């Protein structure tokens, strides 16, 4: 099914919402309003741009969009014209009218209008009747629901123009997509637009360039990231902390190859179920090798390198493994959607008796890590067994119980997605909210009853017999690239001291202080502080402004008085002027900031 089909999957969401508790009524009203706004927008476009063809126009999480077939295309300037025409339609208070007609009649209606995309949707419907909605002269294929009349669509805004392929397939015609949003009140709309404005300032792609953290260019390959020195420093701080905490929590670190023989991916099932996301094979000594899209088959091969006993379990194996997956060029987005990324992967292999303690421990560890990086608003989503699944029901029940008990023990709110698990096991996803209240899906704790069977994993139990272990995949941060993008936007590039790429910048007033400043810089580096020296022959005010723009936590000003007295004048980005102090005292202060993760 095409996920954005306004007549099918979008309205299944409405059907679900109708059956939810009263607390979700506002969400239903909001989706109804936004879908109605999409119809009003499509009507305005048809009025202003003769010859345009309608594709689909669903409500989405933050608003709505409509896809149009219009060869000339729309410009950003067209949005104001469309908004003005929408206001005319809204002011007219035109009622939304629902009709259920025979499929044949629906075809005749849209065939007469020349709406070829609607005809394609009608032909795919497994129903003798079709529901259409009309307001005034505008008719659309739609199950609804809608607001009573166009006047109910009051607080709206058109946001941007984009391209989209019909049904998301690059082989199909390219369409013109107009995004908009609508809210139940003007205040909510204003708040949302203010958030978008702030989000634009925090865009990790802009900050990545301004702070010289990373780059991505088509010249060497779209969706592949170059980490610059400053970005590399932050990544190293993240990886160092990640490794330290994993060792502290009983994990061992693995390192596995970037490529593997075809037979490995056949056994794992990736070539059957994941082939479209894998790159073409390379021939090595007459054998096909594939670049890895995941690390788990290699971890299993480590497990199978020798016979395991119940006394060896649990095993907690983690890896910062770089994987490569094909993504369409149209969906690539800075660090958030890439083709090559380093996954902070881990696999827990244990006995059935150990599973509940292990799940609670991995959830506790995940929460600790997120809070260490400054994220405190975290929610869990628990997905259970679907209709078609592998693995014995008893194992599923034990796994689901372990997930529920772990969430309860850690006092976590969780939302139950009944039947929403993958065919190979239930899971918990952790979603974190950033400084702007946006929710990001990050950690996944995923049971897998499929791979242990496919690879015939076993251990020798206390009874001397072979048993199948439990296996859990755990991606804590998700990937370093995507996590870093979220981190940049959460802090707006103004990282806490322990993560800042440059923690202290020394600023000389004249060249006479350069020898003293170099000594201090070396002392700072020897103490583990990431320090740089700005000894340019420029005015101090310019140097301070540039250090501020680079969001450096501390600036150490060194003039003749400071050099003579073996002091530094400390300026904190957050606290302002802290006055003169000995270098040892400053090192003690900044080292405490780093240790406290402040």
For residue 524, the domain's CATH number is 3.40.50.800
Cβ atoms of 322 and 342 within 8 Å: the answer is: yes
Q: How many alpha carbons lie under 13 Å from residue 123 in its C-beta half-sphere?
A: 8
Closest to 224 (Cα-Cα) out of 322, 298, 318, 321: 322
Same domain? For 520 and 432 the reply is no
Count of the separate structural domains present in the chain: 3
Give the count of beta carbons closer than 10 Å to the beta carbon of residue 210. Answer: 12
479 found inside a domain = yes
Q: How far is residue 119 from each of residues 111, 114, 122, 217, 423, measured CA to CA in Å?
A: 7, 9, 5, 41, 34
Same domain? For 172 and 216 the reply is no
User: Domain ends where: 458, 491, 524?
Assistant: 491
pLDDT at residue 200, rounded to an integer: 95
Find where tokens 């600023």 sit: 507
CATH code, domain with 158? 3.30.980.10
Strands 138-141 and 129-135: antiparallel
End-to-end CA distance of the chain: give it in Å, rounded.
47
Same domain? For 214 and 93 the reply is no
In the numeric block, which tokens belong to residue 85? 């025409």
In the numeric block, which tokens belong to residue 348? 């827990």
Same domain? For 108 and 159 the reply is yes
Same domain? For 155 and 222 the reply is no
In the numeric block, which tokens belong to residue 533? 């020296």
63 found inside a domain = yes
- pLDDT tens across the length of the chain (598 residues): 223 333 333 333 333 333 334 446 777 899 999 999 999 999 999 999 999 999 999 999 899 999 999 999 999 999 999 999 999 999 999 999 999 999 999 999 999 999 999 999 999 998 899 999 999 999 999 988 999 999 999 999 999 999 999 998 888 999 999 999 999 999 999 999 999 999 999 999 999 999 999 999 989 999 999 999 999 999 999 999 999 999 999 999 999 999 999 999 999 999 998 999 999 999 999 999 999 999 999 999 999 999 999 999 999 999 999 999 999 888 899 999 999 999 999 999 999 999 999 999 999 999 999 999 999 999 999 999 998 888 889 989 999 999 999 999 988 889 998 998 888 999 999 999 999 999 999 999 999 999 999 999 999 999 999 999 999 999 999 999 999 999 999 999 999 999 999 999 999 999 999 999 999 999 999 999 999 999 999 999 999 999 999 999 999 999 999 999 999 999 999 999 999 999 999 999 999 999 999 7
Q: How many alpha carbons lie under 13 Å from residue 254 in its C-beta half-sphere?
A: 25
How far apart (Å, rounded) are the C-alpha atoms in residues 536 and 102? 79
pLDDT at residue 1, rounded to an integer: 25
How far apart (Å, rounded) are the C-alpha atoms in residues 36 and 159? 17
Q: How far is residue 163 from each of residues 136, 330, 339, 580, measured CA to CA in Å?
A: 29, 9, 21, 57
Same domain? For 371 and 400 the reply is yes
CA 403 to chain centre: 23
* Helix axes 9-18 and 25-48, enclosed angle (nearest 10): 150
How far apart (Å, rounded) are the C-alpha atoms in residues 472 and 379? 20
User: Domain ends where: 156, 178, 199?
Assistant: 199
Give the count of beta carbons closer than 10 Å to the beta carbon of residue 343. Answer: 21
446 found inside a domain = yes
Same domain? For 117 and 195 the reply is yes
104 found inside a domain = yes
How far apart (Å, rounded) are the C-alpha atoms in residues 34 and 19? 19
Element (H, E) at 318: strand 315-324
Closest to 181 (Cα-Cα) out of 170, 166, 196: 196
Same domain? For 21 and 140 the reply is yes
Same domain? For 25 and 49 the reply is yes
Q: How many alpha carbons lie under 13 Å from residue 413 in its C-beta half-sphere?
A: 6
Same domain? For 56 and 180 the reply is yes
Residues marked as catalytic: 296, 325, 343, 345, 347, 427, 473
277 found inside a domain = no
How far apart (Å, rounded) are the C-alpha atoms in residues 203 and 197? 10
Cβ-proximal residues to 218 (8 Å cutoff; 6+ apart), any chain: none
Give the range of the structural domain holding residue 412, as residue numbers without chain letter. 210-256+292-491
Strands in 138-141's sheet, in edge-to-edge order, are 97-102, 129-135, 138-141
235 found inside a domain = yes
Question: How buried is residue 479: exposed, middle or buried, by Cβ count under 10 Å (0-12/13-18/19+)?
Answer: buried
User: Domain ends where: 199, 223, 239?
Assistant: 199
Give the count of beta carbons closer than 10 Å to the beta carbon of residue 502. Answer: 19
Cβ atoms of 75 and 185 within 8 Å: the answer is: no
Closest to 507 (Cα-Cα) out of 466, 542, 477: 542
In the numeric block, which tokens belong to residue 573? 């980005």
Q: How far is residue 180 from each of residues 40, 93, 257, measured CA to CA in Å?
A: 11, 20, 45
Same domain? For 377 and 341 the reply is yes
265 found inside a domain = no
Same domain? For 214 and 337 the reply is yes
CATH code, domain with 453? 3.30.930.10
307 found inside a domain = yes
């Amino acid at each position: 099914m095409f996920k954005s089909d306004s007549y099918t999957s979008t309205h299944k969401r409405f059907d679900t919402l109708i059956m939810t508790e009263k607390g979700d009524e506002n969400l239903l009203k909001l989706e109804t309003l936004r879908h109605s706004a999409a119809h009003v927008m499509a009507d305005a476009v048809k009025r202003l741009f003769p010859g345009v063809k309608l594709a689909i126009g669903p409500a989405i999480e933050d608003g709505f969009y409509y896809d149009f077939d219009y060869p000339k295309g729309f410009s950003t300037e067209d949005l104001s014209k469309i908004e003005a025409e929408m206001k005319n339609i809204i002011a007219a208070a035109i009622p939304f009218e629902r009709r259920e007609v025979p499929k044949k009649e629906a075809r005749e209606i849209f065939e007469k209008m020349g709406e070829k995309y609607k005809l394609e949707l009608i032909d795919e419907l497994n129903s003798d009747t079709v529901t259409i909605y009309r307001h005034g002269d505008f008719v659309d294929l739609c199950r609804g629901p809608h607001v009573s009349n166009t006047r109910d669509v009051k607080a709206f805004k058109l946001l941007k123009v984009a391209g989209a392929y019909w049904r998301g397939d690059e082989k199909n015609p390219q369409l013109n997509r107009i995004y908009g949003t609508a809210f139940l009140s003007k205040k909510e709309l204003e708040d949302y637009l203010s958030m978008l404005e702030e989000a634009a300032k925090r865009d990790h792609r802009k900050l990545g360039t301004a702070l010289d953290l990373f780059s991505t260019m088509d010249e060497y390959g779209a969706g592949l990231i170059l980490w610059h020195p400053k970005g590399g420093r932050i990544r190293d701080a993240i990886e160092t902390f990640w490794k330290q905490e994993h060792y502290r929590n009983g994990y061992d670190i693995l390192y596995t190859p970037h490529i593997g023989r075809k037979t490995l991916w056949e056994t794992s099932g990736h070539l059957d179920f994941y082939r479209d996301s894998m790159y073409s094979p390379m021939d090595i000594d007459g054998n096909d090798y594939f670049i890895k899209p995941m690390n788990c088959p290699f971890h299993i091969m480590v497990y199978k390198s020798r016979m395991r006993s119940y006394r060896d379990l649990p095993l907690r194996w983690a890896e910062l493994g770089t994987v490569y997956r094909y993504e369409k060029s149209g969906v690539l987005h800075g660090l958030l959607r890439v083709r090559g990324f380093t996954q902070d992967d881990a696999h827990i292999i244990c006995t059935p008796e150990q599973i509940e303690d292990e799940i609670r421990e991995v959830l506790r560890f995940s929460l600790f890590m997120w809070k260490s990086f400054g994220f405190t608003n975290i929610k869990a989503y628990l997905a259970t067994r679907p209709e078609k699944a592998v693995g014995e029901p008893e194992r599923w029940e034990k796994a689901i119980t372990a997930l529920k008990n772990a969430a309860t023990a850690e006092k976590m709110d969780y939302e139950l997605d009944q039947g929403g698990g993958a065919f190979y096991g239930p899971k918990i996803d952790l979603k974190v909210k950033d400084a702007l209240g946006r929710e990001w899906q990050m950690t996944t704790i995923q049971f897998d009853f499929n791979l242990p069977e496919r690879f015939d994993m076993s251990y020798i139990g206390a009874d001397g017999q072979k048993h199948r272990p439990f296996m859990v995949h755990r991606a804590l941060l998700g990937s370093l690239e995507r996590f870093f993008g979220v981190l940049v936007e959460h802090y707006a590039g103004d990282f806490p001291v322990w993560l800042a790429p440059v923690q202290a910048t020394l600023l000389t007033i004249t060249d006479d202080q350069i020898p003293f400043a170099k000594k201090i810089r070396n002392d700072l580096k020897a103490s583990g502080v990431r320090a740089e020296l700005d000894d340019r022959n420029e005015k101090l005010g310019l140097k301070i402004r540039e250090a501020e723009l680079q969001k450096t936590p501390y600036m150490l000003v060194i003039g003749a008085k400071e050099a003579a007295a073996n002091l530094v004048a400390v300026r904190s980005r957050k606290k302002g002027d802290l006055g003169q102090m000995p270098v040892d005292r400053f090192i003690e202060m900044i080292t405490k900031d780093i240790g406290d993760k402040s």
